[in-house]
Amino acid sequence: MAEAMRSDGIDPAVLAGNESNRAIAAEIAAIPLAPKLPRRFWWGFAAFFTIGLLFLGCVSYLLAAGIGTIGLNVPAAWGFLIVNTVWWIGIGHAGTLISAVLLLMRQNWRNSINRFAEAMTLMAVALAGTFPILHLGRPQYFYWLLPLPVTHMPWPNWRSPLVWDFFAIATYIIVSLLFWFMGLVPDLAILRDRAKSRGKQRIYGFFALGWRGSAYHWHRYRIAYYLLAALATPLVVSVHSVISLDFTSAIIPGYHSTIFPPYFVAGALYSGFAMVITIAVPLRHFFGLEDFITLKHLDNAGKVMLASGAVVAYGYLCESFFAWYSGDQFERYMMWNRMFGDYAWTFWFMLACNVGTLQLLWFKRARTSPWLLFALAFIINTGMWVERYVIVVTSLTRDFLPSSWQNVLPTWVDFGILFGSLGLFFAMMFLFVRLLPLMTIFEVQELKHELKEAQ
Amino acid sequence: MPVTDKDMREELAAAEPARFWRSLEERARTPAFRRMLDAEFPEIAERYATATDRRTALKLLGASLLMAGMGTAKAAEGIAPYVEQPENLVPGEPQFYASTLNERGYGMGVIVEAHEGRPTKIEGNPNHPASLGGTDPIMQAAAFSLYEPTRSRTVLKGNEVATWGAFQAEVAELRERALLQGGAGIGVVIGPNTSLTLQRLFSQLQQAMPALRFYLSDPLAGTPRPYAVLPHFDEAKIVVSLGADFLGEGPGRLAAARGFADSRRVRAGGQRTMSRLYCLESIASLTGAKADSHLLVRPSAMDETVARLATAMQSGTGDDAFTTALVRDARAAGNGLLFIAGERESAFVHATAQRLNQPSAGITHTLIAPVATAPADSGSLYDLVTDIGVGAITSLFVLDCDLMHSAPADLDVGAALEHVSSLYHHGLHVDETARKADWHVPATHDLESWGDLRAFDGTASIVQPLIAPLYQGRTIAELAAALTGDFVSSSLDLTRATWAQLDDAGWREALKRGVIADTAAPAITAPPLAEIANPVQEAAQIDVVLTPDPFLDGGTHAANLFLTELPRPLTKLVWGNAAELAPATAQTLGVATGDLIEIGIDKQVLALPAFISPGQAPDTVVVPLGFGRWTGEDSDTVGTNAFPLRRRGNAWLLAGARVKKGQGSGRIITTQEHHAMEGRDIVRDVPLAAIADEGPSAQEPPSLYPPYEMPEEAWGMSIDLTACIGCNACVAACQAENNSPVVGPDEMAVGHDMHWLRVDRYYAGDPEAPETVFQPVPCMQCEDAPCEVVCPVNATVHTHDGLNAQVYNRCVGTRYCSQNCPYKVRRFNFFQYQDFDEGSPLSLLMNPNVSVRERGVMEKCTYCVQRISAARIQSEISDQPIADGAVQTACQQACPTRAITFGNIKDKQSAVAREKTEPHSYALLEELGTRPRTTYLARVTNRPDEDKGNG
Amino acid sequence: MGRIGPYSKGNAVAQVFSSRANQIVYFVLYGALVLIILSPTIWIVLDRSFYHTGQFYALEQPAPFSHAHHVGEVGLDCRYCHQGVETTASAGLPATEVCMTCHSQIFSDAPILAPVRKSLASGVPLVWNRVNSLPDFVFFNHAVHVNNGVGCVSCHGRVDEMPLTWQEMPLTMEWCLGCHRDPGPNLRPESAEFSMDWQPVGDRKKLASELMAHFHIDTRTMTDCYACHR
């Protein structure tokens, strides 16, 4: 048995302490069920929610005053909002990877981090979904991208990557939601049973869908959960590939590049895991979850980042190489402009963040010191956002005819929406932590159980 | 009838013009009609203070019909038919009338398109010598200035609203008194004006009041000459411009441009020779841009250089490449030699040009007596101020000019006008001069008034109104008549009286053709040459030279935002002027584009933002005139007024001007920020000698797409870069035809401009003496259009005849199409640019056949699809195929040099198909495989260093 | 793998939900399902409803003009009042004077004609309410239709049977395109353009193809967006 376990690659280090199942349940369920949380929790929430309001404010202004209020012009008709979309979708990917792919690969160490990673995915993708609509000139007609049975006969142009996009993102949101909820059911039942107040019992109870944890339930549950996982797995690859097609299939130098699909997916995981760490480190610190989110987790996450980051770096290399090797004057100028043009600093900043800091992750020391990792993750996420800016905006400002070249500057609305969306995201994470178990209680118990047997 | 058919337009123009007018006129006289208007449009009636005025009433008729057309479709939308249908007005059908526009006093013949009595679009009149069917941006913008909202609307006494009647009474009284002393004490200030009616009235006035004095205010006047030169470019083998921008300015520029372009239209099958243009200039100009060889000299060195050139012509040896080549060519050209001296060059330059021209007189040019623009003995502004000073002038009439704006610094017009006991102002706007006046009478717009004007060659034509005056406007003639004691005659009567020799048939003919037969000025023999010594000009460290803005005519059109926002041909500047200087000069001054430059004369100091503009002469700062004019309460002043830099005898080249870098920076708004082609194959040159005998040289690149099938017509366009002079008439025409909005400086600054067609300007070679090339870029209407693939909602799709149609009402505004357009010709409504306020007079300007686009919608050049549809519908009805030339795009029709050819490329005989088979025809960025329907004819060069053997 | 975790055994915890709770869940789930299936159907129906298209609804008019009387009984030709229909984009409404050419003679003092007389006297036009109304971004041209075998009835219906005029056809894009894609069945010979009661005789299909050929109708040219939107 023990051998079997090791062959499963479970490292005892993934869980510390040795609570009983009840204790585990108690510890994790404590947070959502606690009558009140320490004041600083609410201060944190209030801070982020205030920033979140900035998002709502700027969006309302944008809708009222028109798309001209954000930094766009005719060579560069796409701006911050598209950059945000790509970035947020990328963030989302980590969640799906952890929960679905690692589940199928029986990487049980994932068990204590998948729940909030999924929550993160859900919120990131939901946010990402709003930007393309806000970015329309006439957002009120976004539904014209659907084949509608109405008399004025709107019909999608199936050749357009934006249509693929539309469906890709929609699918992603739905699947992530189902997967996340599916995973919650048994825990909701636990909360239901541990809840003291009738109100909580009813609410948690309603969503627990009458789960009693019978063998029969578990049997059904496993099948369904693994099926969903299998469904979600291809999305990890497909969604961001489709997004990248928005650029790849355009003819603009800097967009028109075959390397994009793999390189976008890698980038997505890179930034995604960075975000997981950005969330995990404070969580384990403030809620004393060092026993559940152990250094082992951080170490693994660090390794994934190292791998995906390396692929991204390779992507940069390829892009530059092909630009030169193609011999195409437009491609060459594009790359030259990225490196030495008006926006050169963004390019070098991107390299510094995404390739430079990456090197630290070669060292176990770095991977296992939480706050250093946290800092790296933060820098890398910034770098990844800038990467998308370099691709989306700087390419546009210098295209084929020099006569139409023009730089573009973001407005305060752009920044308002970007930072506002971050605020909203973290505010929602706070609510999630408050209302739901931030780890899969039963899976952690299971893991514990297996480890016990392993010894 | 196809509204876009050129012949048809002429024919329509010829259609009994006066009747529609008259029938409405008659109706207007009936009280019933006036009651109808009050009842039918009360809201409009009260919007215009004077709605009961019968003339305003006529306009309201037009307004109402427009609004019926533009109102949004509601469940119960009111539709009001006529009570009595006006004769020959068919609702929904445009009408065309010949008329004449006034440009600095000279006549430009036009054909005006009107919808239900509202003029919406100006076209050139092919019969008129100054137009030959072409137009310039100013003409295209005329309809805009008609509806321009800040126009003066009522007669003012002081600041009180008064009436024309009251003004007449005032004038009558003044007249009583004045007659006793033969008009002593009365002064009349006029701008240049060639109208014979005015000249008739003025001479009457002078007979009645011998002591009455006329003063001419012509701030843009050039060097006076006893003759005018009419060039014949078809005969000239070698054209030499001595600081002359004959393509860019002057009342004859359109004719010159046509003649010049025709003399250089080289085709494999046809004409194989072209004239060669030598250009000696100090201010970058359209002419300089077309020169085959050009030499930049600072203004203060012009006379000296011309003198050296003259001696070289005799000695036969030049001391620089330019002169050497010129002398060689001149010898070879014999009599085919044409020297043109610039309007504002010194008398010496003119005399020299004249002497060098002598041998080819009558061949490459003819001389005529200059067309009179003012009464013979008119005084200058300096005389006016002196006369006022000594109390010789007590009552002053300022007719249609803004003295306060254009006065030089050493002339305190303001104070002088204060001294005049009664000042009467007449003009389109309540400008600074009007504010000083005791009385202000609104002027009529050319499209509202009867009158006559003479063209640069003396040909007279009638100014025919398309619409009754929108406000209480009066013509200068009516004011002059009032002074002569005629208070009843309308401007129609006055004009008719001038042309009494025309019987009704002759009059009608004149209105139809838009010109009065045999009124061109006769040729004269060259006047005896006065030998003028070469005046030595002391050279300052930096020359400061003024030049008229190409579009604002010294401030006349300052309120015309359509022109303010039109990119200047060379600098691409909009919404303001700048101190333009060559890169090296900027370096010596230590300024970059945008930095303020301080230009000082005496105590006067003017600060303008610098703009580095290659092609300006070394050590020279060029400042355009015409900006900074205040045109009434609700108007903003645009740019800096440079007139105050002037001194007596210092009109253009400002002697003793100090130039230094100023503090801070000013706003520069330009539509093109990059001026080099970056080694890309964008504008192609081909030496004359290198043109093959048959084409096409460019093979279509291979494509994976199937060849494009052409079931019926296949619309295509060819643009001849040799003929294009970069004047921007096409851009203006496109904007006027397609209801493109004016977006304002802030939007232009961030690159939200809405011109569907743009003229790209690139510099090549040495930045200190660059070669300047122009390239008009409309939508290429690609057969394999990148934009169509990516639109998620099928808002941009291909039509059977090869148009790349943009469906505004389908567009959701992803802007992906614009992203994917390699030519970046798509324009996006980032805000609600279109003024949907039907209360604004500008709503009358709209072309009812083109959708008015809303916020968030992409738009672009459509090859004027509304004109194509009109032609198609006619052909569907008549079952006749669309004839070649039946569809003209707005840009094509406006082009003075006929650089744009449009038509059905499937018909191999069509003009455009033949253009496309020329060896020097090429497609822009053809390596992208977009298969553009718009192609270019490479720029044929004829540089002196090109000819081996021939030359 | 059996039960892990402390789920409530039996009545360890009091019953949270009544036994009917399940039905609520089922209701919600099935309700959602039904809604998802139904909503497009509702959309399809509503979008084509007379309420939405405004068909068969006779608007109030300043004077109760009856096509039934003028066309059906008196037998006036359409072109008598709608003069532009054969030559221009808009069919045109009759000027007041056109009404009065007859009504100065007959019913010259009928009370229902008072508004018309008033209009002529005062010079104030009658302001009719538009019955067949298209959006501003649609450029419709009567002449091209009337000259190519599309009769008045095809779009306006039997006006000779309308006491007050109403909109007969949906005038939706779908409806326009239906004919633009396959005009044949709606075509009629020139002679019948303005007839109210023309009925095709013989083989309709054959007639259709004959007329298509006769009017040189090429549907490729009729489905371009710019045919209606400019």
For chain C, how many residues are written? Answer: 230
Would residue C71 count as lying in a domain? yes
Residue reference for tokens 């108007």 = B635
Q: What is the pLDDT of residue A33?
A: 84
- Chain B residues with CB under 8 Å of A164 CB are none
Same domain for C98 and C87: no
Which of A35-39, C36-40, C164-168, C207-211 shows the lowest mean pLDDT across its residues? A35-39
* Confidence label for B46 from pLDDT (cuts 50, 70 and 90): very low
- Residue A441 confidence (pLDDT): 84
Question: Domain residues of chain A, as ranges?
Answer: 2-454
Instruction: Write down the pLDDT at residue C16.
Output: 76
Closest residue to C143, CB basis, from B75, B808, B877? B877
Residues of B in contact with A246 (CB under 8 A): 816
CATH top class, domain B228-368: alpha beta
| Chain C contact present for A225, CB below 8 A | no
pLDDT at position B656: 84
Q: Give yes or no for residue B696 having a pLDDT over 80.
A: no
The answer to whether B721 touches B936, Cβ cutoff 8 Å, is yes
* Residue showing tokens 């040459």: B529
- Helix (H, G, I), strand (E, B), or coil: what is residue B594? coil
B685-694+714-836+845-944 CATH fold: Alpha-Beta Plaits (3.30.70)
Q: For residue C7, which residues of chain A lie inside 8 Å, CB to CB?
A: 189-190, 193, 211-213
One domain for residues C101 and C84: no
What pLDDT, on a 0 to 100 scale, did the predictor assign at position B698? 53
B799/C contact by beta carbon, under 8 A: yes
**Could you give the percent of chain B with pLDDT greater than 70?**
90
d(CA B267, CA B273): 9
Contact A231, A53 (CB under 8 A): no
Q: Which residues of A touch B855 (CB under 8 A)?
A: 66, 137-138
Q: Decide if pLDDT at B487 tops 70.
A: yes
Q: Is C226 on the interface with B (CB under 8 A)?
A: yes
Residue A112's pLDDT is 79
> Pick from B863, B850, B860: which is nearest to B903 by CA?
B863
pLDDT at B799 over 50: yes
Q: Which chains touch C (3 or more CB pairs under 8 A)?
A: A, B
Distances (CA, A) of A377 to A298, A311, B663, C177: 11, 17, 46, 56
Are A11 and A454 spatial neighbours (Cβ–Cβ below 8 Å)?
A: no
pLDDT at B700: 67
- Does the distance separating the beta carbons of A73 and B750 come in below 8 Å? yes
Using pLDDT thresholds of 50, 70 and 90, give the confidence band for residue A2.
Answer: very low
Residue A301 in contact with residue A308, Cβ under 8 Å? no
Q: Does C143 touch chain B (CB under 8 A)?
A: yes
Task: In whole angstroms, give the CA distance from residue A386 to residue A388.
Answer: 5
Count Cβ–Cβ pairs < 8 Å, chain A vs chain B.
158
Tracing tokens 């069509």 back to the chain, one arrives at B910
| Chain C residues touching residue B84 (CB < 8 angstroms) | 95-97
Minimum mean pLDDT range among A97-101, A357-361, B288-292, C138-142: A97-101
pLDDT of B73 strictly over 50: no
Q: Does C34 fall in a domain?
A: yes
Mean pLDDT of A195-223: 88
| Claim to verify: residue C158 and residue C70 sit in the same structural domain | yes
pLDDT at residue B310 tops 80: yes
Q: Is B787 on the interface with A (CB under 8 A)?
A: no
Tell me which residue in A151, A189, A442 faces C172 most closely, judged by beta carbons: A151
C-beta atoms of A402 and B855 within 8 A = no
Same domain, C60 and C168: yes
pLDDT tens digits, one per residue of B258-276:
999 999 999 987 888 899 9
Q: Is the pLDDT of residue B15 over 50?
A: no
- Which amino acid, B948? K
CA neighbor of B854 nearest in space, from B806, B804, B808: B808
pLDDT of residue B49 exceeding 70, the answer is no
The C-alpha of C54 sits at a distance from chain B's nearest C-alpha, in angstroms, of: 8
Residues 10-69 of C with CB under 8 A from B: 54, 59-60
Q: Residue B64 belongs to what H/E stretch?
A: helix B54-70
**Are A141 and B812 an interchain contact pair (Cβ–Cβ within 8 Å)?**
yes
Q: Is pLDDT above 50 for B542? A: yes
Q: What is the pLDDT of residue B249?
A: 92
Please give the pLDDT value at position A115: 86
Residue B862 to residue C95, Cβ atoms within 8 A: no
Domain carrying residue C219:
56-93+131-227
Whether residue C163 sits in one domain with residue C60: yes
Does C197 share its domain with C111?
no
pLDDT at B352: 92
Domain A2-454 part of CATH 1.20.1630.10: yes
| Res A272 pLDDT > 80 | yes
Phi-psi region of B580 (alpha: psi -120 to 50; beta: other; left: phi over 0): beta
Say how many CA atoms lie within 13 Å of B804 toward its Cβ: 27
CA-to-CA distance for B907 and B913, rounded, in angstroms? 7
pLDDT at B17: 35
Count residue pairs from A and C with Cβ separation < 8 A: 75
Q: Do B803 and C229 touch (CB under 8 A)?
A: no
| Calpha distance C218→A276 (Å, rounded) | 62
B396: helix, coil or strand?
A: strand
Touching check for B436 and chain C: CB below 8 Å?
no
Residue that the structure tokens 């002053």 belong to: B396
3-state class of A443 per DSSP? helix
**How many percent of chain A have pLDDT more than 90?**
60
Q: Which residues of chain A make contact with B677, given a CB cutoff of 8 A?
A: 402
Q: Residue B694: pLDDT band by 50, 70, 90 thresholds? A: low
Q: What is the mean pLDDT of residues A110-117?
A: 83
Please give the structure tokens belonging to residue B262: 């025709």
Instruction: Compare CB distances from C225 to B71, B91, B797 and report the shortest one's residue.
Output: B797
> Are residues B202 and B480 in contact, defined by beta-carbon separation less than 8 angstroms?
yes
State residue B24's pLDDT score: 35
The tokens describing B643, both together, are: 């007139």
Q: Is B278 helix (H, G, I), strand (E, B) or coil?
A: strand
Question: In Å, what is the CA distance from A64 to each residue of A60, A69, A128, A138?
Answer: 6, 10, 21, 11
Among A163, A252, A408, beta carbon nearest to B792: A163
Question: Rounded to the nearest 5°, which phi and psi values hold at A213?
Answer: 75, 25
> For B855-927, where are the alpha helices, taking DSSP H only?
865-878, 890-894, 911-916
| Contact present, B252 and B370 (Cβ < 8 Å) | no
Q: Which of residues 48-107 of A touch C (CB under 8 A)?
A: none
**DSSP track, B673-719:** -----TT-SSS-EEEGGG--SS---SPPPP-SSPPPP-SS--EEEEE
What's the confidence (pLDDT) of residue A292?
Answer: 84
Is the Cα torsion angle A72, A74, A75, A78 positive or negative in sign? positive
Asked if C85 and C155 sit in the same domain, the reply is yes
Q: Cα–Cα distance between A110 and A10 in angstroms, integer? A: 10
Contact across the interface for B92 and C89, Cβ inside 8 Å? yes
In this predicted structure, the answer to whether residue B837 has a pLDDT above a threshold of 60 is yes
Domain locations along chain B: 5-38, 228-368, 543-665, 685-694+714-836+845-944
Interface mutation target, options B750, B782, B809, chain A, most CBs of A under 10 Å: B750
Residue A98 has a pLDDT of: 82
Residue-wise pLDDT tens digits, A393-451: 999 999 999 999 999 999 999 999 999 999 999 999 999 988 998 888 888 887 777 77
> Which of B40, B71, B872 is closest, CB to CB, to C124?
B40
Give the nearest chain A residue to B791 (CA atoms): A160
Cα distance between residue A146 and residue B793, in whole Å: 9
For residue range B141-200, list pLDDT tens digits in order: 999 999 999 999 999 998 899 999 999 999 999 999 998 888 889 999 999 999 999 999
Q: State mean pLDDT over B669-691.
A: 90
Taking 3-state DSSP, the helix, strand and coil percentages for chain B, each rounded to the nearest 5, stand at 30, 20, 50
Q: Are residues C103 and C123 in the same domain?
A: yes
Q: Which residues of C touch B803 (CB under 8 A)?
A: 224, 226
In CATH terms, the fold of domain B543-665 is Barwin-like endoglucanases (2.40.40)
Per-residue model confidence (pLDDT) at position B41: 41
Residue B159 has, within 13 A of its CA and on its CB side, a CA count of: 4
Closest CA to A378 of A344, A422, A329, A343: A422
pLDDT at C2 over 60: no
Rounded average pLDDT over A217-228:
91
- Residue A38: the pLDDT is 84
> Which of B221, B251, B56 minimizes the C-alpha distance to B139?
B251
C125 touches B: beta carbon within 8 Å? yes
For every residue of chain C, DSSP letters joined together read ----S-PPPTTSS---S-TTHHHHHHHHHHHHHHHHHHHHHHHHHHHHSHHHHTTT-PPP-SS---HIIIIIIS---HHHH-GGGGTSSS--PPPHHHHHHHHTTTTTT-GGGHHHHHHHHH-PPP-EEPSS---TT----HHHHHTTTB-HHHHH--GGG-SS----S---HHHHHHHHH--GGGB--GGGTT-SS----S-HHHHHHHHHHHTT--GGGTSSGGGT--
Other residues' Cβ atoms within 10 Å of the Cβ of residue B335 = 14
Distance CA A187, CA A436 (A): 9
C7, C25, C40: residue with CB nearest A189? C7
Average pLDDT value for chain B: 87
Q: What is the DSSP string of A111-144?
A: GGTHHHHHHHHHHHHHHHHHHHHHTSSSGGGGGG
DSSP B74-115: -TT-EE---SSPPTT--TT--EEEEEEEEETTEEEEEEEEEE
**CA gap B233, B723 in Å, rounded:** 14
Please state the domain count of chain C: 3
Average pLDDT, chain A: 89
Residues A447 and A439: their CA atoms lie apart, in Å, by 12
Closest to B146 in 3D by CA, of B431, B434, B446 = B446
Find the helix or strand (DSSP H, E) in which B763 lies: strand B758-764
- Give the whole-angstrom CA distance, residue B438 versus residue B174: 13
Of the given ranges (A150-164, A192-206, B253-267, B520-534), which has the lowest mean pLDDT? B520-534
More reliable by pLDDT, A18 or A258 = A258
What separation in angstroms does the CA of B316 have from each of B275, B278, B334?
21, 16, 13
In this predicted model, what pLDDT tens digit does every residue of B319-363 receive, in sequence order? 889 999 999 999 888 889 999 999 999 999 999 999 999 888 889
The model's confidence at residue A18, banded by pLDDT at 50, 70 and 90, is low
> How does pLDDT run across B107-118, given as a tens digit for each residue?
999 999 999 889
Q: Are A137 and B814 inside 8 Å of each other by CB?
A: yes
Q: Which residues of B touch A155 (CB under 8 A)?
A: 793-794
Query: The dihedral of CA B653, B654, B655, B658: what is its sign?
Result: negative
Residue B501 exposed, middle or buried by CB count within 10 Å (0-12, 13-18, 19+): exposed
Q: Tokens at residue B450, please?
A: 């009867």
What does the alpha-carbon distance between residue A356 and residue A350 come to, in Å, rounded to a whole number?
9
pLDDT, position B43: 40
Distance from CA of A100 to the nearest CA of C (A): 20
Residues 71-110 (B) with a CB less than 8 A from some CB of C: 71-85, 90-93
**What was the ipTM of the complex prediction?**
0.91
User: 3-class DSSP state for residue A79?
Assistant: coil
